[in-house]
């Protein structure tokens, strides 16, 4: 996934460099790459990620509501459809290989980290416009693509016998890389319509907070926190 520094995403990423490094280089990620992450930690993460997807579908539904632009509305509705009818089905299938079924995941209590990030995203959208909302979504949507690509390209990443190799391949793969690239382009389209010099600092604060909440989500998985 190639990003240019003059894209809005690139500018936001540069504005919170230390937080971004803490997120993309978190110990959860490093242990995934080394194949040494405890299975209980990964299963906990997967279960919370299922709940996470439900709220992300709500966020894209909110994006459709917040706009009067038909192209933007159609894009948001298409994202809702993809999350609910494609991504969640794929996630459930993947989780079954780790001994998790959909009913059990749906019944899980939301961890504090799940509550914090998903509600922050929704609140960002409700209080602002779709640019605020997509900025809050960006660390997850684009960040996972960056992490997947970086791990796949890193010769230190363990491939043979790594139980998490398929997870890395999923986010490094062409399908998800296209999702991340489209998200970068979507931010730039919204920026053309709505970004002013005075507004960038507020967006950077939203992006930084969302990045920190993503870091907390990794930490939740690592420590099995609720």
* Residues recognised as catalytic: 140, 214
Q: Which stretches of the chain are assigned E, i.e. beta strand?
A: none
Helix axes 200-223, 130-153, angle to 10 degrees: 50
Using alpha carbons, select from 41, 27, 37, 31 the residue that is nearest to residue 223. 41
Q: What's the CA angle centered on 90, arms 89 and 92, to 5 degrees?
A: 65
Cβ neighbours of residue 114 closer than 8 Å, sequence gap 6 or more: 48, 51, 52, 55, 217, 220
Structure tokens at 131: 């640019």
């Amino acid at each position: 996934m190639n990003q240019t520094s003059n894209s809005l995403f690139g500018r936001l990423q540069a504005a919170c460099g230390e937080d971004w490094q803490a997120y993309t280089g978190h110990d959860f990620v490093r242990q995934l790459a080394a194949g040494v992450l405890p299975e209980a930690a990964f299963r906990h993460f997967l279960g919370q990620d299922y709940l996470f997807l439900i709220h992300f579908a709500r966020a894209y539904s909110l994006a459709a509501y917040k706009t009067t632009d038909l192209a933007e509305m159609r894009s948001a509705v298409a994202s809702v459809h993809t999350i609910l009818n494609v991504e969640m089905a794929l996630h459930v299938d993947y989780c079954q290989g780790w001994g998790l079924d959909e009913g059990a995941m749906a019944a899980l209590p939301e961890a504090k980290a799940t509550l914090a990030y998903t509600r922050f995203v929704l609140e960002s959208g409700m209080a602002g416009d779709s640019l605020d909302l997509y900025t809050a979504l960006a660390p997850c949507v684009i960040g996972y693509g960056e992490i997947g690509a970086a791990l796949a390209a890193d010769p230190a990443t363990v491939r043979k016998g790594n139980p998490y190799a398929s997870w890395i391949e999923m986010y490094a793969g062409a399908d998800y890389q296209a999702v991340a690239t489209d998200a970068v382009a979507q931010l730039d389209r919204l920026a053309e319509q709505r970004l002013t010099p005075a507004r960038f600092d507020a967006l950077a604060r939203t992006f930084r907070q969302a990045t920190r909440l993503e870091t907390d989500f990794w930490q939740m998985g690592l420590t099995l926190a609720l």
